[in-house]
Structure 1
Amino acid sequence: MPHLPLSALEVAVVQRDFPPSASLRNCEAAAREFDRLGYHRLWFAEHHHSPAIGVFPPPIMTAHIAAATSHLRVGSGGVLAPNHAPLTVAEQFTTLAALHEGRIDLGIGRGPGTFHEGTARALRRGADPATDEEYRRDVAAILDHLRECSLGQLPEPWLLASSEAGAAVAALLGLPIAVAHHIRPQNTVRVLGRYREEFRPSAWREDPYALLCVETVCADTEERAAELKRPMDIIKSRLLAGQAEEPFVSPAAAADHRFTAEESEQLAAFGAHQAYGTPESVASRLTQLADATAADELMLVTPVYDVADRVRSFELVAKALAAGS
């Protein structure tokens, strides 16, 4: 694998044994380490009404973390267009771009950012979910407003996608694409194929550019990596069963949890597309994914309980990939 930019996606992991506000402080501590380790960009995902993933609006986190770091590109992964007025999104991110020149990204996505129906409707002020056409118009409007609101420096716009419909929007508007392989890995090949086939050069990009986001948990041993990802596996199994999310339990507490045969099969099927284990095995897996998808950039998301373990995972991956490049 040629040397690819390596980036990070952060979610505010809520620990059962700590107040939710601790997740925000942990994100800042991690960001400083990502900056030190030489990661290219750090994005924050929009979430609402989740006991497991704290609420941290991407514009606010982007502003705070950009001020707390020196080199990272910082931004949204993403702002969910159906939840916001296009003009508001443009004003927020053009202001951030003016304050932190050359360091602000605006990743735009479609999902509601919540599994709670009442919250989703509240975000939409009671409106039904956006149609494909409404979403395309919202994204196009955000791009138009970016130019109108420019304060001399523009954020870099991205389109987040996990489906062919999202790929088509990114291609039509000539945007770089961030593929949510960590959510729907079964769609990745089709998403990238359609994006590259239909891409139209634009004022934003002359050529297609694809970032691949992979769930990654790395530790010094395979056993420790398995322990670290087990709390997230519990949350995934609850979601697959249609049950409510809960805060992350510690790896020690998660060790006592027993998965059903069906849950274990589902988790194994998902995990086969991600990257877990020692630095050597994770580097090998990420290299395989990059080669298979011809990705231009890799982004890692590491939803583990303790911030020190999360940072350690990112450190081990960066060193392993650098050693092999």
Structure 2
Amino acid sequence: MIPFSVLDLAPVTEGSTPAQAFANSLDLAQWAQGLGYARYWLAEHHNMPGIASAATAVLIGHIAAGTSTIRVGAGGIMLPNHAPLQVAEQFGTLASLHPGRIDLGLGRAPGTDQATARALRRYYEGAETFPDDVRELLAFFAPATPGQAVRAVPGAGIEVPVWLLGSSLFSARLAAQLGLPFAFASHFAPDAMDEALMIYRRDFKPSARLAQPYAMLGVNLVAAQSDREAQRLFTTQQQSFVNLRRGRPGLIPPPIEDIESYWTVTEKYGVEQALACAIVGGPQTVREGLSAFLARHRPDELMLTANVFDHAARKRSFELAALARDELAKAGS
């Protein structure tokens, strides 16, 4: 069975605080480690009241220090917001503190609005600059050479797996060209998933970092004891997407009984399109949904995310997903 991993945005729920979100993230990471998940990734977002993972490298250090075997990383660091040298130093530090357990996923979008991008003091000049920034970052991880004017300390010569993330064909092509593992953001932008996978696998060039293509896909997975309860829990994610499209991102809302009364027909269409890669239901529905998704797309790894309001229900969702994974493995799926 392929590895399953976890994507976390350190959600801040209504009535809660970032401090509680961080405590929940550590608890969930420890839970995921015990359930056999391969990685625990955190995503960089800024100026989002319901997402507390803005200082992503700091939070990765917190999670890695509280776990022992699960890989911990960024899914991802939005490179336009950072100087490549600083990213190399941060992740060189993390990898020195937690050898063999740190991943670095890179995205090319600022991950925020223009005003916040200005506040970050970094200016996005366009997609054409991203490949150069990636190459510069990779060079900082290479062993330092005599006379090298600028080196990452720590960072130079430290092995940190670097992934490219994307929701379009751009990063698929770049990951193939550079010989890097690729993670597609199918959990919120699935439209180009099949074509991106095809391009990545077809055009992949082996590198010193990776001998053959390795693709990970994101999936929203909300599991509960019944289909009805899982669908109710999923309304938290659906509301969050509607709120974002209305220009009113806020704290993560509790589930509601009737999502149809919350959104317009147009909003429903947009959210359902964005969240098309979602498996929501009881144990049998989840098992069947996972089996069908894996059979169709054949990813090398699956990254699950679950924006569930109640922390105990969120842990239970990942537990049920792990049980489905193990049952599929026994069945040879």
Task: Identify the TM-score tier after normalising by the shorter chain.
Answer: over 0.9
* Cα separation, 1, equivalents of 2:285 and 2:261: 26
Q: Deviations over 1:170-198 (max 9, x none)?
A: 11111000111012111101111111121
Q: Give the conservation status (yes or no) of the 8 Å contact 1:24–1:56.
A: no
The aligned runs of 1:218-229 (5 Å cut-off) are 218-229=223-234
Match of 1:282 among 286, 293, 313: 286
Match of 1:145 among 136, 140, 148: 140
Aligned AA (1:228): L
The aligned runs of 1:1-325 (5 Å cut-off) are 3-114=1-112, 116-125=113-122, 127=123, 129-147=124-142, 148=144, 149=152, 150=155, 153-241=158-246, 243-251=247-255, 258-325=262-329
Instruction: Give the Å deviation of 1:252.
Output: 5.0
Q: Give the conservation status (yes or no) of the 8 Å contact 1:82–1:124.
A: no
Instruction: Give the Å deviation of 1:22.
Output: 1.5
* Cα separation, 1, equivalents of 2:81 and 2:270: 31
Q: Give the conservation status (yes or no) of the 8 Å contact 1:98–1:152.
A: no
Q: 1:163 to 1:252 in 2, by over 3 A?
A: closer
Sequence identity of aligned pairs in percent? 39
Aligned AA (2:250): E
* Cα separation, 1, equivalents of 2:21 and 2:239: 19
Alignment size in residue pairs: 319
Instruction: Give the Å deviation of 1:19.
Output: 2.1
Moved more, 256-265 or 68-77: 256-265
Structure 2: tracts of 5 or more residues without a match: 145-151
Instruction: Give the Å deviation of 1:224.
Output: 0.9
CA RMSD of aligned residues (A): 1.8
How does the TM-score come out when normalised to structure 2? 0.91
* Cα separation, 2, equivalents of 1:216 and 1:295: 16
Q: Secondary structure at 1:111's aligned position in 2?
A: coil
Q: Deviations over 1:98-140 (max 9, x none)?
A: 22111110111111122x3210222244x2x232221000011
